[in-house]
Amino acid sequence: MRWPISSLNAIDLALDIVARFASERMPRSFFDGWMTVAMEEAKHFGLLSRRLQSLGSRYGALPAHDGLWQAVEETAHDLSARLAVVPLILEARGLDVTPSMIDKLTAVGDDETAKILEIIYRDEKKHVAIGAKWFRFLCARQNVNAAERFGVLVRQSFRGEVKAPFNDRARAEAGLTPTFYRSLSPRSR
Ligand SMILES: [Fe+2]
């Protein structure tokens, strides 16, 4: 099973937003929000790491992809691009794939891991919501259409594929409506 985001990288990522963009003219609550995200990512890492140990393995025993960190480097120059690619593409992808992972774990009787993924799913929805809120804030400040700007930034700064099917309901609950992502997916055009 391939987790869309490396849990350990996710902590660094939230903290990277706070540190790298510290000189941006943003409200204090923007930085507080990402500190909360970092704390929750650390909680997820602890939960997954302990669960792996109780199964006789450990975090890092299997290779994890570093797509998240590549995205961090490619969007280091621009906060809007960072928010578009990291919370609104990569973390939103977690919302698409996690429910079926939970179903599979439940089907094989691993309720304990399923419960951990339910916690992560709930928190990740909040992370996407924080990304969407501040992305819209930046677009409103620059007087640009948020969905259009999103499309431009993703095409510029994201090398991967925007994959359907989407969990439209969870995405909408996080403030990410289909006008943002539908036209970016080759299969849903
Ligand atoms: Fe997250």
| Residues with a beta carbon under 5 angstroms from ion ligand 1 | 91, 124, 127
Query: Residue for token digits 């996690």?
Result: 98
Residue 135: count other Cβ atoms within 10 Å of its Cβ: 25
Query: Residue for token digits 């409103």?
Result: 140
User: With left for phi above 0 and alpha for psi between -120 and 50, is residue 24 left, alpha or beta?
Assistant: beta
User: How far apart are the CA of 148 and the centre of ligand 1, in A?
Assistant: 24
Q: Check pLDDT > 50 for residue 85.
A: yes
pLDDT in tens, 93-103: 999 999 999 99
User: How far apart are the CA of 20 and the centre of ligand 1, in A?
Assistant: 18
- Mean pLDDT calculated for residue range 34-54: 96
Burial class (CB in 10 A: 0-12, 13-18, 19+), 25: exposed
pLDDT in tens, 136-188: 999 999 999 999 999 999 999 998 889 999 999 999 999 999 999 998 987 65
User: How far apart are the CA of 117 and the centre of ligand 1, in A?
Assistant: 12
The DSSP code for 16 is H
pLDDT at 58: 87
User: How far apart are the CA of 162 and the centre of ligand 1, in A?
Assistant: 18
Q: How far apart are CA 120 and CA 61, in angstroms?
A: 21
Q: Which domains does the chain have, with CATH numbers?
A: 3-188 (1.20.1260)
What's this model's pTM, rounded to 2 decimal places?
0.93
Q: How far apart are CA 31 and CA 17, in angstroms?
A: 8
